[in-house]
């Protein structure tokens, strides 16, 4: 396999006490899950994902926002983890102390075998009512049509309030335990891999900066430039499904004593 890492970086990862694999929507792009920057398709093409992911949008039109999340939930159910998710899980198994921290609300890291990924922005699979009661997601999602439009959200069986997606929208606080774990991991790691994130949504985008300030080596994997380029020690230009397996193979070779 073609080498992608500069000299010494595979050794640094292989011998790290702690590695943080920090991911964004780009890692799921090659599984067919659209990123936030991608234009939406079909019935959703006249909407902007960033504008739908707000409490104000849900308040103004709950059926519109709930329908969009149902459509996305069905799309994720049909998607499979790609080689990038698989390599992230393999790296976690290879280098003890590796933590996966994701901004994604899909479950592709878990399905690829990553252990206890930290979800900073919640999950498509944990809806709750607006008063905070958990709600059992309906089964039979595979039957959701591809052209699903607005759908009125269900009502909470405990209190009758509207059910909303269990995700973090703009202006909402990140789950405290997840964010604390992520900051702790970023400030104590030796290496942070920032994969497939535009690095513009805060406070998650602070994590690579926290790692840099703490003396970690920060490696970015992204086909495009991002605002994080300047603080990264290594910028690997390309897709996660192509570059992460190559990165993993180099680290594995080091741990096997091959270099």
Positions marked catalytic: 121
Strands 128-129 and 163-164, sheet pairing: antiparallel
Secondary structure (DSSP) of 185-254: HHHH-SEEEEES--S-STTTTHHHHHHHHTT-EEEEE-SS--TTGGG-SEEE-S-HHHHHHHHHHHHHHH
Q: What residue is closest to ligand BJW based on CB? A: 26
Judged by CB, which is closer to ligand BJW: 213, or 259? 213
CB-nearer residue toward ligand BJW: 53 or 94: 53
Does 41 contact ligand BJW by CB under 6 A?
no
Alpha-carbon gap, residue 183 to 187, rounded angstroms: 6
> According to the binding rule CB under 6 A, does residue 36 interact with ligand BJW?
yes
227 appears as a binding residue in the annotation: no
Is the CB of 100 or the CB of 221 nearer to ligand BJW? 221
**Residue 134 within binding range of ligand BJW, rule CB under 6 A:** no
Single out the residue of 33, 53, 207, 254 in contact with ligand BJW (rule: CB under 6 A): 53
For residues 88 and 27, the answer to whether their CB atoms sit within 8 Å is yes
From the CB of 117, what's the least distance to ligand BJW, in Å? Answer: 13
- CB 109 within 8 Å of CB 23: yes
Is 194 a binder of ligand BJW (CB under 6 A)?
Answer: no
196 has binding-site annotation: yes
What is the radius of gyration, based on Cα positions, of the chain?
Answer: 19
User: Cα dihedral angle (180, 182, 185, 187), rounded to 10 degrees?
Assistant: -80
CB of residue 133 to ligand BJW, shortest distance in Å? 20
Both tokens of 9, joined, read 């970086």
With beta carbons less than 8 A apart as the criterion, state whether 63 and 69 touch.
no
Q: Is 79 in the site for ligand BJW (CB under 6 A)?
A: no
Q: Enumerate binding residues for ligand BJW (CB under 6 A).
A: 24-26, 29-30, 35-37, 53, 103, 105, 121, 167-173, 196-198, 200-203, 221-224, 226, 239-240
Residues making up the annotated binding site for Zn(2+) are 129, 156
């Amino acid at each position: 396999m073609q080498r992608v890492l500069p000299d010494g970086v595979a050794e640094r990862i292989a011998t790290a006490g702690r590695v943080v694999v920090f991911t964004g929507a780009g890692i799921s792009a090659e599984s067919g899950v659209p990123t936030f920057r991608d234009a939406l398709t079909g019935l959703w093409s006249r909407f902007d994902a960033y504008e739908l992911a707000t409490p104000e949008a849900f308040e103004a039109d709950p059926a519109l926002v709930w329908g969009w999340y149902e459509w996305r939930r069905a799309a994720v159910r049909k998607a499979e983890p790609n080689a990038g998710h698989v390599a992230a899980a393999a790296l976690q198994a290879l280098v003890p102390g590796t933590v996966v921290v994701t901004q994604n609300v899909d479950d592709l890291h878990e399905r690829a075998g990553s252990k206890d990924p930290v979800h900073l922005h919640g999950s498509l699979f944990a809806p709750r009512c607006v008063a905070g009661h958990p709600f059992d997601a309906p089964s039979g999602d595979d039957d959701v049509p591809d052209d699903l439009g607005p759908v009125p959200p269900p009502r909470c069986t405990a209190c009758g309030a509207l059910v909303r997606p269990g995700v973090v929208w703009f202006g909402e606080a990140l789950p405290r335990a997840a964010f604390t774990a992520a900051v702790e991991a970023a400030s104590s790691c030796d290496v942070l891999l920032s994969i497939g994130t535009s690095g513009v949504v805060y406070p998650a985008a602070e994590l690579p900066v926290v790692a840099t300030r703490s003396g970690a080596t920060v490696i970015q994997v992204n086909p495009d430039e991002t605002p994080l380029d300047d603080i990264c020690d290594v910028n690997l230009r390309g897709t996660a499904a192509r570059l992460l397996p190559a990165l993993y193979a180099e680290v594995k070779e080091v741990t096997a004593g091959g270099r």
